[in-house]
Amino acid sequence: MIKSEPTDSSKVVIENNFEKRTFWNRAKLELKKSPGTARFGMIVILFYIIVALFAPWLAPYGESQVFPIPYEPWGQEFVFGTDQIGRDILSRMIFGARNTVGIAVATTLISFLIGGALGLAAAINRSWLDQVLSRCVDVLMAIPSLIFALVLLSIFGTSIVNLILIIAVLDATRVFRLTRAVSLNVVVMDFVEAARLRGEGLGWIMRREILPNILPPLIAEFGLRFCFVFLTIAGLSFLGVGIQPPLADWGSMVRETAMLIQFAQYDLKAGLTPLLPASAIALLTVAVNFVVDWFLHKTSGLRDE
Amino acid sequence: MHPIIRTVLVRLALGLLTLLAVSIILFSAIEFLPGDFAQSALGQLATPETIAAFRKELGLDESAITRYYRWITGVLRGDFGTSFSGRGSVTSIAKSRDVVDLIAPRFWNTLFLASLTAIIAVPLALFLGITSALYRNSFYDRAVNAASLTTISFPEFFVAYILILLFGSLWPIFPTLAKVDETTLLAERLLRCALPAFTLTLVIIAHMMRMTRAAIINLLASPYIQMAVLSGASKSEVILKHALPNAWAPIATVTAFNLAYLVVGVVVVEVVFVYPGIGQLMVDSVASRNIPVVQACALIFAVTYIVLNLIADIIGIVTNPRLLHPK
């Protein structure tokens, strides 16, 4: 009793000292030190998330609610006017946040699930599995992904599910490469060997031993891949083979209103209309890039030019 | 054998292998077609006889290896098969066109646009990269960097429409539609291709410029450069005479890589400017699911991409001074 008491109290004191910094405290400290560009990026991303989540409440009209006047100019009733069949542009922009960004996030998540799992497995296994997967990825990466996506879309048809799966699989090749490369450095470490000798299975080693150690580069890569996927899907939709109408989507909105740009001389606002969804795409990519830059800078110190 | 030649030969063999694998992948894409494809391609009005004939022409009654062999030998002779469009009627074969006739004129247009872009973009990127390395951390350097980072994050069509708005609509000095044909004179053709070429330049210049700058700055830390500095060489002399020769490999790699990226960029830009190139043809064919045309376009794009990457690697190998003097 006498012996254990002082150790207990000292333990409590130590715990008290350390418990003060919770996750949120640390996050706050990091945020205070973050540069202006990263803060700007985070605010923009937060704004997009809010718009995407609360789209039905924020939009003045419905997603595909048609009004009698097509190409209505900017004004009180329709802030950014209406499109070629009389749908409110602002409402479609707001719903577009939900569709375009949502589909891009889903695609990136799937590509990380596929690419990450296979990359980890290849790095740990290092036998025929690694060889087969690496050679397949080499060949897949030899074809430009937009071109390959076009080929696959022409074969499987242009539905949202096909779009998500095709882009996710093509993008998973890049994730595979990165995951495999960074986990190769971790696989050779002693604690992994110890886990192996302990008799842990492949799943345990992947999740508990290696994944925590390769998380920072993977998170940064998630941001960059999201940008890439987002731009690819926007590009495909712009070309008319991605997200299909009547679903509101920024890429196809640019295509639908593109002809208005010819009238910029007479009505500058009308000329700017097709640039609105395009700049919504650009702004989000810039914002994500800013945050990823800061994150990379913080976690690795690499990229410090 | 000299180590350089051996490395180059190994790389060439690998490139050929990749080409073969890619051609197999693009070919086998047709294997995944849904069963009723002949019906959906020919439309509801097609008679059972036409569908049967169409199936037979696709060779669906033969083994995949035979068909691949026939396809690839045809491609090597410049025969990409016949287009699917216009097959619905009874006199189908007469109406459908050879894919190669569709592609050939458009291919030259695309090549023209890509070369024009390369002629503008590569010297400009090298100039910007070298000068920003020379005046590192100056206002000029920061401005060029910020501008290039911005253009990287923009989708191609956004850059294109900004240029159209500025130079085609508000201040109309360039045509916004790049419609050209064989009869268009060179001067007129250049004028019409100006905006698409500028767009592509803005899209690819950033990577090349940043890579040039990074490669040179990376080298500036190495001992032999410090030696040159200490021996009294001027700043521009150090960069142009000592750093640049060693930086050629990464610069050449990123240049070829970005020219390969042009392949992807042209697709979107051609659609924006209604330029009659293979990118636009491919998008149209994807929408109408005209598989032979899509396959042919994809093969051309993929081959260009692979060959350019191969050239980049070989330049990287040949210009590496360490390989020139084997131990």
Separation between Cα atoms, residue B326 and residue B224, nearest integer Å:
20
How distant is the Cα of A144 from the closest Cα of chain B, in angstroms?
7
**Torsion of the alpha carbons at B236, B242, B247 and B251, rounded to the nearest 10:** 40
User: CA angle, B268 as apex, B121 and A176 as ends, to 5°?
Assistant: 85
Q: In the Cβ-directed half-sphere of B123, how many Cα atoms lie within 13 Å?
A: 4
Beta bridge partners of A183: none
- Flag whether A77 is in a domain: no
First to last CA, chain A: 60
Q: Residue A210 belongs to what domain range?
A: 99-299
Mean pLDDT over residues B163-171, rounded? 83
The nearest alpha carbon in chain A to B271 belongs to: A239
The SS3 assignment for B116 reads helix
B278: pLDDT strictly greater than 80: yes
Asked whether residue A230 is domain-assigned, the answer is: yes
A10 in contact with B, Cβ within 8 Å: no
User: Which B residues in the span 265-304 are in contact with A, Cβ-Cβ below 8 Å?
Assistant: 267-268, 271-272, 282-283, 285-287, 289-291, 294-295, 297-298, 301-302
Contact between B158 and A282 using a beta-carbon 8 Å cutoff: yes
Q: How far is CA A87 from CA A58, A60, A110, B295, in A?
A: 16, 11, 33, 37
Interface residue A151 vs chain B (CB under 8 A): yes
| Phi, psi angles (nearest 5°) of residue B47 | -80, 160
* Mean pLDDT lowest among A191-205, A244-258, B113-127, B246-260: B246-260
pLDDT band at A106 (very low <50, low <70, confident <90, very high): very high
Q: Is residue A37 part of a domain?
A: no
Calculate how close chain A gets to B94, using CA atoms only, in Å: 25
ipTM value, please give it: 0.79
A202 within domain boundaries: yes
Q: Where do we find the tokens 């900017």?
A: A74
Question: What integer best gives the mean pLDDT of chain B?
Answer: 79
Q: Residue A184: inside a domain, yes or no?
A: yes
Measure the CA–CA gap between A15 and A9, rounded to whole angstroms. Answer: 10
Higher pLDDT, B31 or A63: A63
| Residue pairs spanning A and B at CB distance below 8 A | 143
Range among A47-51, B80-84, B265-269 with highest mean pLDDT value: A47-51
- Spatial distance between the Cα atoms of A238 and A258, rounded to a whole number of angstroms: 10
What three-state secondary structure class fits A66?
strand
Give the B window 112-151 contacts with A, CB below 8 Å: 149-150
Asked if residue A266 belongs to a domain, the reply is: yes
DSSP letter at B59 equals T
In a domain, A286, yes or no: yes
Residues in A 57-86 with any Cβ partner in B closer than 8 A: none
Higher pLDDT, B318 or B225: B225
DSSP one-letter code for B327: -
Q: Which of A143, A274, A285 lies closest to B161 in CB terms? A: A274
CA distance A254 to A258: 6
What pLDDT digit, counting tens, does each position of B172-207 carry? 787 777 777 777 777 888 888 888 999 999 888 888
**Which residues have CB under 8 Å from B61's CB, separation 6+?**
B55
Residue A161: which CATH number? 1.10.3720.10
* B174-193 residues touching A, CB cutoff 8 A: 176
Distance CA B77, CA A260 (A): 45
Taking CA atoms, B122 is separated from B20, B119, B239, in Å, by: 30, 6, 19
Q: Tokens 């049967």 sit at which residue? A: B52
* Cβ distance of B165 and A261 shorter than 8 Å: yes
pTM: 0.82
Tell me if A221 is assigned to some domain. Answer: yes
B74 vs B55 pLDDT, higher one: B74
A257-266, B91-100, B156-165: the lowest-pLDDT one: B91-100
CA-based nearest residue to B246, from B267, B224, B274:
B224
pLDDT tens figures, A209-225:
888 888 888 888 898 89
- From residue B304, give the alpha-carbon distance in Å to each of A264, A280, B186, B307: 38, 33, 25, 5
Query: CB distance from A272 to chain B under 8 Å?
Result: yes
Residue B307 forms contact with A (CB below 8 Å): no
Total domains, chain A: 1
Range from B53-62, B91-100, B113-122, B256-265 carrying the lowest mean pLDDT: B91-100
pLDDT: is A197 or A245 the higher one?
A197
In this prediction, residue A289 has a pLDDT band, given cuts at 50, 70 and 90, of confident
